[in-house]
Structure 1
Amino acid sequence: MTIEARLAELAIELPEAAAPVASYVPVVVEGGFAYVSGQLPFVEGELVKGRLGENVTPEDGQAAARACGLMILAQLKKAGLLEKVRRVVKLGAFVNSAPDFTGQPAIANGTSDLMVEVFGEAGKHARSAVGVPVLPLGAAVEVDAILAIDMD
């Protein structure tokens, strides 16, 4: 089954891939890997802003992380790589967190669970989930990815 067919089966519609907000490219391919720059959470075209433990609930944080994952998939599709993914190798989740918020791993599950839904066993990955005091544009979450891809 293709990834596009799997997305349709799951009733997942990918957003339009976001343009970079600074001097970088969304995806770099090198040595059999695709490196996807940090993606921000857009839900219905609006950036999810705020800080976990302050004005964003854990449920909304998880949904924001899922939105980051959808944007990662959208960037891969735009780069013509979505069907070439062999394995999700590593995700880096950055969570805009109040000083006493320690639930970053649960927030990052929003992206992690999506990758397993879409890629099955190949979606299981290594991961970092880090609390940070601020993210670009005030985003609640940012996630980057490293994926092994077929080079043929």
Structure 2
Amino acid sequence: MALHTDTEIYKATYDLSKLVTEYVSNMRRNYKADFGAELRRRCMSLVMRTYEANTTSDRTPVLLRMRQEVEAVNLSLRLAVDLRLISPKQYSHAIALTTSIGKQATGWQKSSERALVAGLPRQPGQRAMKSGRAAGP
């Protein structure tokens, strides 16, 4: 069984959570408690969705929720830069991560849907195919 912590999407979601936590610690006090805390929670939710998708047999609904949460994080980050809570440079770093997460989640979702259509049930935590052969047990 593949560990969810070995995946690129996990690494990207974790890096985003870490980055956003640093950004929130530097926000003005009146935004830190509510806006910043919610942004951190959303980012941590992305990390947990990675775990959930990797351990369930029907990944599609989990990955769909994950993609929706990525959009919510993108909107929050845009609002943060518009309110001057984070700098444009900080915004660009965070958006690069959310773009990567969104693309990986979309690819993972499409791959899972193709596997379901083809009738190839996978065990929870089983790795996806690489180069035409199984990448893990």
Q: Same fold (TM over 0.5)?
A: no
Which structure: greater strand fraction?
1
- TM-score, normalization: structure 1? 0.28
Which structure: greater helix fraction?
2
